[in-house]
Chain A
Amino acid sequence: MKRYLHLLTLLLASLALGAQTPTGSVHIKNGTVLTITNGVLTEADVVVENGKITGVGKSLRTPAGAKVIDATGQFVMPGIIDAHSHIALDAVNEATNPVTAEVWTGDVLDPFDISIYRALAGGVTAAHAMHGSANAIGGQCETIKLRYGTYNPEDLKMQGAPRTIKFALGENPMRVHGEGNRILPRTRMGVEHVFRQAFSEAKDYMAAQESYQKKKASDPTAVAPKYDYRMETLADILRGEIIIHCHSYRADEILMLLEVCKDFGIKRLVFQHTNEGFKVAPELAEFGAMASVFADWWAYKFEVYYSTAYNAAILTRNGVVTSINSDSEDYIRHLYHQAGKTQRYGQLTDDEALRLITLNPAIQLGIDARVGSLEKGKDGDIAIFSAHPLSIYAVPQMTIVDGIVRFDIKADDNDMRLSVDPEKTEDMMLEYAVEHRCMEGVEGHAAHHH
């Protein structure tokens, strides 16, 4: 109790210093450093100053005020990044309309979610806090850093990360809107129609805006088209300012969305789940679309039966930038195990397997210039393991975000809740797979997963 209070006090004190993202300095000494981009360095140091990596190499100087961490016999890797998560959210689905591009999970971040701490305890430093898959065009998502200890939702945001948005193919939007509300989309064809209609409307909206801008200077009677937040957001997708992350399973639908994007000139596209991605890997590679997959999770509903544990390896070997995600507050703690499975199914190299949970998800989220590998100038987001992280015996020891230790196995109290409801007795057990959040907020429908 005391230990964790101390840690908490330190965290809070560092947060109180300013509205800016709190940062720290650490000197990790004498570990086996898995850089991801520059091989493995033995008996090497990593130095972080004010949140940024300033050195990776042997016998580095300790900056003034830096916390020294002895990593002798331990493995140091870039913080793990989960490209598909629903942790730290007070709401997941605005399931009331097939298109809700204007809503944004960044507005409902929940810094008190204990899953943040649990994910840190699995070496995770950043996650993609996504809207759910109830709608064909869901809401915008937020890339968060796991700055456990803050009370301000804003502090979780990874400022400067590109905007992303959730799309969904197949059965979820069909069930919620088609079956549930008897509106589009009721079939897979209907899902495509929703995309095409939305983008066509957005193009009209952009044209109207453009014509107003032209008229405005010379015509005093010109009136601006009525502001439409949904259309503004869709227009931003067409302008390439937002990366689409699309919930997908079947190859035919994956190809369908590739065609839609080609028709509307959209280039930034990441498929999520992508269970049949292995069937269309060359097409994905040719388009430049990326894939974020499960290691070996399928058969939880009809459209997810045709799957293989070789998916990540096949996609990788075909040149598709691939990541392994959790989509679960439980699996997020074991992403290094998930990555390890690709060595059993597909014989990926250590670097390739680790990229699936570090640099590749960073590329998919557009944050690879800042995180995903241990390089000078990148953010000080680091995970330290007792053994090689792809070993089943590895135990996370310490997780660092922006140079601040956010998880330390030596100060890991049983009760790390930030917020306690005095009127409620909480069940402290993490119940596995009781309710997945992908379809949270969807009324009156059997809760299928993902």
Chain B
Amino acid sequence: MTKQLARWLSPLLLFLPLLAAGQGERPPVTNAYFIQNAIVVQQPGTVLEMGGVIIRDGLIQAVGKNLKAPADAKVLEGDSLYVYAGFIDGLSNVGIPKPKEETGRPEVKDPGNPPNAIAGIQPERSAADMVDASDKSVEELLALGFTAAHVVPYGSMLPGQGAIILLGGRGQTGAVYRPESSFFSQFEGSRGVYPATTMAIMAKWRELYLQAKQSKDHSARYSSAARGMARTAYDETLEAFYPVIDGKQPVFFAVENVKDVFRALGLAKEMGFQLALANADHVEPALADIKASKTPLFLSLDLPEEKKKEEKKEGSSGSDSTRTTPTPTIDTKMEERRAAAQRMFEEQAAAVAKAGVSFGFSTLTAKSKDIRANLGRMIKAGLTEDQALAALTTAPAALLGLSDVMGTVEKGKIANLVVTDKPYFAEGSNVRYVIVDGVPKEYEAKKKKKASDPNAKVSAVGTWSITVDVPGQTTTSVLEITGTADDLSGTITAEGETRQLSGVSLSGDALTFTSQFSAGGQNLTLSFDLTVDGDSLDGSVQVGSFGTFDVEGSRTSKPDRQ
């Protein structure tokens, strides 16, 4: 079974993990690239029309007009393309393999005093040791234009130390740019063991911090005059606090709401550590405190899901012009407040910018597929495009101490770039290249999906040849649809293997169906979402959680009579 699945899906699945790693396996022909005749947005507000960028050995060698293509450079035609500095994610788990979800309380003898690993107190761990450049989260973020990220381990109260990584870059070893760049914490209790609540997390924070100070002081005294003194206990958890105590490592707190913002600010003030707030969704009430304490801020790129407009049940024809406006009900008032709350979250970025507080973004809890839309919603809510760009480039570079090497398109910086076919924030803009560490990756411009027409009269019956487009490789299958419009069924055949389709349905010109695979106890669903236009079709297929890929096809034969 596993074999069959692997064979059928080989182009889809087996290729995925190789996307990132593959580049490292065969040395590139050249390490020099030249983007010519592009609109180079060097940094927010600084635009070079008809400019060029020369990249060599991972660095930006030159930026300017009338540059000559170096003889050994591969030329990337930039005509009408836009070049930006690669985006920087202020805090996320990208590239960190997700640990298995555990449910229920862990088995411990004494839930009041669990081992540190179960308590979620692991500040000695380092994200740099966990980074896996081939993790699929890397590819998702890369495709949006992110080229670097501050990544932290998964976990509870103190999951470990963060690292700055390059997304993709030159293989796995090249991914980590700066290890131990931060000390990560969150108000996340352990299930059923101490510390389970935010109350206990706050208490534990104070205790650990004061114990670490004590032990640091003790070790210093011991190393200068050990004789006669009780020796210091080796405690890697407490030792992990030392750089924080010395002010050499900031504490990044992931916060869930404005209450958490105040709590983290309060704790930092009380203990005296250097704080950075990350993944904040609502900060306006705390802006004065954030500004006064100069706390680096990274807003969440997650926004509350937009409520789908409910369709009016009654006909929307304007014939009933005498209808009076109904008196507002409790429901409409509730909806008003809900909508206002949604706007409030969308307006946070604009409000922070207006207050003159520099901020970056965090993708910790954002779904990759929502990120561009969410940026659009923030811009619609008053954030300027330059401010949005700054929050993706210059601001996080500055807040993470990376301004020397990242954040702008300037000579000498790491060649982390994103190239689009329209201004990044414009409707329908596509990412065409993402360049990380001087290595470009090309993206196909996404085809515009044809809007399906529920009233179209088409037939799906027949034999189709379809191709599924995984970046860099396509696979061809044969789709066989039989039956009548109300009762369709079919099969799909690829690599000599035929599978039954289920849920085949044609609504207007929208053809949908799924195909199930189970292998080794795991179920994988391929969900096709296609639009039929005469004898051609196009659309997409979602392959489990692996992603969504473009599908195209044409009818090779029709039944003789319909």
Contacts and interface: CB of A to CB of B under 8 A. Distances in A.
Interface of A: 1, 16, 90-91, 93-100, 102-105, 107-112, 131, 139, 151-154, 181, 183, 220-221, 223-224, 226-229, 414-415, 417, 419-423, 425-426, 428, 441, 443
13 contacts: A1-B333, A96-B193, A97-B111, A102-B203, A104-B199, A107-B199, A107-B203, A111-B259, A153-B262, A154-B266, A229-B210, A422-B304, A425-B334
Contacts of A425: 334, 338
A107 B225 CA distance: 40
B368 to A, nearest CB: 19
B229 A441 contact: no
A255 B286 CA distance: 48
B496 interface: no
Given A96-B192, A226-B211, A422-B342, A220 B262 contact: no
Given A103-B200, A226-B211, A441-B196, 15 more contacts: A94-B200, A97-B113, A102-B203, A108-B197, A131-B199, A152-B285, A221-B225, A221-B228, A415-B333, A415-B337, A420-B337, A420-B340, A423-B305, A426-B334, A443-B105
Interface string B106-124: 0000111100000000000
Contacts of A422: 304, 307, 338-339, 341-342, 345
A103 B201 CA distance: 8
A138 to B, nearest CB: 10
In the A-B complex, list the 9 residue pairs whose CB atoms are closest, starting with the nearest: A97-B112, A151-B285, A420-B341, A91-B197, A422-B342, A229-B207, A107-B202, A103-B199, A221-B229
B384 interface: no
B206 interface: yes
Interface in B265-314: 266, 285-286, 288, 304-305, 307
A78 B218 CA distance: 53
B197 A93 contact: yes
A417 B334 CA distance: 11
Interface in B207-247: 207, 210-211, 214, 218, 225, 227-230
Nearest to A229: B207
A11 B274 CA distance: 32
B197 A181 contact: no
Nearest to B210: A227
B256 to A, nearest CB: 10
A222 B229 CA distance: 7
Nearest to A90: B198
A350 to B, nearest CB: 40
A343 B195 CA distance: 46
Nearest to A100: B200
B304 A181 contact: no
Interface of B: 105, 110-113, 192-200, 202-203, 206-207, 210-211, 214, 218, 225, 227-230, 258-259, 262-263, 266, 285-286, 288, 304-305, 307, 330, 333-334, 336-342, 345
B211 A421 contact: no
A220 B225 contact: yes
B197 to A, nearest CB: 4
Contacts of B330: 414, 428
B196 A95 contact: yes
A307 B229 CA distance: 60
B310 to A, nearest CB: 13
A227 B214 contact: yes
A103 B262 CA distance: 18
B202 A104 contact: yes
Given A151-B285, A154-B262, A223-B229, A98 B304 contact: no
Given A104-B202, A152-B285, A229-B206, A223 B218 contact: yes
B514 to A, nearest CB: 27
Contacts of B263: 107, 153
Q: Is the interface of A mostly helix, strand, loop or mixed?
A: loop
Nearest to B336: A1
B200 to A, nearest CB: 5
A307 to B, nearest CB: 31
Contact of B197 (A151, A153, A183, A441): A441
Contacts of B193: 96
A105 B199 CA distance: 6
Nearest to B328: A1
Contacts of A423: 304-305
Nearest to A443: B192
A417 B336 CA distance: 13
Contacts of B266: 154
Nearest to B199: A103
Contacts of B227: 221
Given A96-B192, A98-B112, A228 B333 contact: no
B275 to A, nearest CB: 16
A110 B120 CA distance: 24
Contacts of B228: 221
B199 A139 contact: yes
Contacts of A107: 198-199, 202-203, 263
Nearest to B225: A220
Given A107-B202, A229-B206, A414-B333, A420 B338 contact: yes
B199 A96 contact: no
A227 B238 CA distance: 12
Contacts of B230: 221, 223
Which of B105, B330, B334 has the largest count of A CB atoms less than 10 A from its CB?
B334
Given A107-B199, A152-B262, A423-B305, A96 B194 contact: yes
Contacts of A181: 110-111
Nearest to B192: A443
Nearest to B340: A420
Contacts of A153: 259, 262-263
A193 to B, nearest CB: 15
A224 B333 contact: no
A91 B200 CA distance: 10
A415 to B, nearest CB: 6
Contact of A91 (B199, B214, B229, B334): B199
B341 A94 contact: no
Nearest to A139: B199
Nearest to B194: A96
Nearest to B202: A107
Contacts of B258: 151
A220 B258 CA distance: 47
Contacts of A221: 225, 227-230
Interface centre among A91, A105, A107, A423 (most CB of B within 10 A): A107
A298 B266 CA distance: 40
Nearest to B232: A223
B424 to A, nearest CB: 27
A100 B189 CA distance: 15
A351 B342 CA distance: 49
A154 to B, nearest CB: 6
A265 to B, nearest CB: 25
A189 B307 CA distance: 56
**Among the interface residues A99, A152, A221, A422, which one has the most CB atoms of the partner chain B within 10 A?**
A422
Contacts of A99: 112
Nearest to A18: B288
Contacts of B210: 227, 229
B348 to A, nearest CB: 13
Nearest to B342: A422
A420 B203 CA distance: 29
A147 to B, nearest CB: 13
B142 to A, nearest CB: 28
Contacts of A417: 337
A107 B270 CA distance: 12
With most chain A CB atoms within 10 A of its CB, the pick from B225, B263, B330 is: B263
A105 B334 CA distance: 31
Nearest to A223: B230
A263 B489 CA distance: 83
A152 B211 CA distance: 29
A94 B195 contact: yes
Nearest to B284: A151
A90 B285 CA distance: 19
Given A415-B333, A422-B307, A91 B198 contact: yes
